[in-house]
């Protein structure tokens, strides 16, 4: 049965934690992902793709700061738009090439996409969105001493050596601004890459006009908003692990296979999903099911097809199905 699937891809899946972030490395990772995406299109599904940009935006911000004596640095919203173009281009070109090889001439388009947020969002007071590279405790302390304005938090369990990252404000997405255009493109069979990096964050002034704001929106939560406006059947979060887990990083760790909405809410309330890591992914999936979606999936890039047909991954369904 033909389905409309929104796929949210992590920025860390495009640039791995142990990579420097060269164009060659990122294109190689994108090729791995696009093989999976092209297979889904061969099954006749409609695809909408969104992606993170944390590593890319963080690196670009470092470049901005390093070159500020020569070139004026750009604000967060412009950096978001720049990385939307960068990553969208890589996916657009690579997926087009795979589809051409398979003699499946589907049109693929990447759009620069704005997402509305509120200036009163509490995350501006307590930033939570990781950007840029991972650091050891020693590296994080050194960077904090050099740049005291940075907020650096532990985003992975103590068992992981490089578990610290810079965090910035990540306000909750309210509305996808270009949703009508995106919806029309999806309905005509175009593969759309949208809301990249969570979308360019904008606020609305008293005259109803938009302007950028200094933030990075969580791509999973923005992806859920995107899934709702295109009427998706499936919302799939592809990350660097096969499953969401309970008791992550402990001897009692175990994978979550199929779970109902209520079961996942209970796990979340018990604190099994870390903020800035698995927490937003689970929250986005729960929002999708609550909105009316039939299936939300969390799994790794290389297990996407298997998870879609029920062989692996964390699959979240409405109450009661499992």
What whole-number distance in Å separates Cα of residue 186 and Cα of residue 227? 11
Q: How many residues appear in the chain? A: 322
* Residue pair 164/143 in contact by the 8 Å Cβ criterion: no
Q: Which of 11, 132, 199, 279 is flagged as catalytic? A: 11
What whole-number distance in Å separates Cα of residue 40 and Cα of residue 36? 7
* Residue pair 159/274 in contact by the 8 Å Cβ criterion: no
* Residue pair 4/10 in contact by the 8 Å Cβ criterion: no
Q: Which of 12, 21, 153, 162 is flagged as catalytic? A: 12
- Clarify whether 12 is annotated catalytic: yes
Q: Which of 156, 245, 281, 303 is flagged as catalytic? A: 281
- Clarify whether 176 is annotated catalytic: no
| Of the candidates 48, 165, 189, 168, the residue with the CA atom closest to the CA atom of residue 105 | 189
- Clarify whether 21 is annotated catalytic: no
Handedness of CA 304, 10, 295, 229 (dihedral sign): negative
> Alpha-carbon Rg of the chain, whole angstroms?
19
What whole-number distance in Å separates Cα of residue 228 and Cα of residue 178? 13
Q: Which of 54, 113, 156, 219 is flagged as catalytic? A: 219
DSSP structure string for 71-134: SPPPPHHHHHHHHHHHHHHHHHHHHHHHHHHTT----EEE---EEE--TT-GGGTS--EEEEEE
Q: Which of 129, 156, 221, 245 is flagged as catalytic? A: 129
- Clarify whether 129 is annotated catalytic: yes
Positions marked catalytic: 11-12, 129, 219, 281
């Amino acid at each position: 049965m033909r389905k409309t699937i929104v796929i949210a891809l992590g920025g860390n899946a495009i640039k791995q934690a142990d990579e420097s972030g060269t164009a060659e490395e990122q294109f190689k990772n994108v090729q791995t992902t696009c093989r999976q995406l092209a297979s889904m299109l061969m099954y006749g599904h409609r695809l909408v793709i969104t992606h993170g940009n944390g590593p890319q935006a963080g690196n670009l911000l470092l470049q901005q700061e390093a070159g500020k004596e020569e070139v004026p640095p750009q604000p967060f919203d412009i950096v978001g738009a720049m990385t939307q173009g960068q990553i969208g281009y890589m996916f657009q070109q690579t997926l087009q090439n795979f589809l051409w090889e398979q003699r499946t001439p589907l049109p693929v388009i990447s759009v620069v996409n704005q997402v509305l947020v509120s200036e009163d969002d509490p995350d501006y007071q307590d930033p939570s969105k990781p950007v840029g590279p991972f650091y050891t405790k020693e590296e994080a302390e050194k960077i904090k001493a050099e740049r005291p304005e940075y907020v650096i938090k532990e985003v992975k369990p103590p068992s992981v050596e490089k578990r610290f990252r810079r965090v910035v404000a990540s306000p909750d997405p309210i509305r996808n601004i270009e949703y009508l255009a995106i919806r029309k493109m999806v309905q005509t069979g175009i593969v759309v890459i949208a809301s990249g990096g969570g979308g360019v964050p904008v606020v609305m002034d008293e005259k109803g006009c938009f302007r950028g704001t200094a933030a990075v929106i969580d791509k999973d939560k923005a992806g859920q908003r995107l899934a709702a406006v295109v009427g998706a059947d499936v919302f799939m979060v592809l990350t660097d692990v096969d499953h969401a887990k309970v008791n992550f990083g402990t001897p009692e760790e175990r994978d979550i296979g199929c779970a109902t909405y209520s079961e996942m809410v209970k796990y979340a309330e018990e604190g099994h999903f870390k903020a800035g890591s698995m927490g937003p992914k689970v929250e986005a999936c729960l929002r999708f099911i609550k909105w009316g979606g039939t299936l939300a999936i969390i799994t790794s890039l290389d297990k996407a097809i298997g998870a879609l047909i029920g062989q692996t991954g964390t699959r979240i369904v409405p109450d009661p199905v499992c």
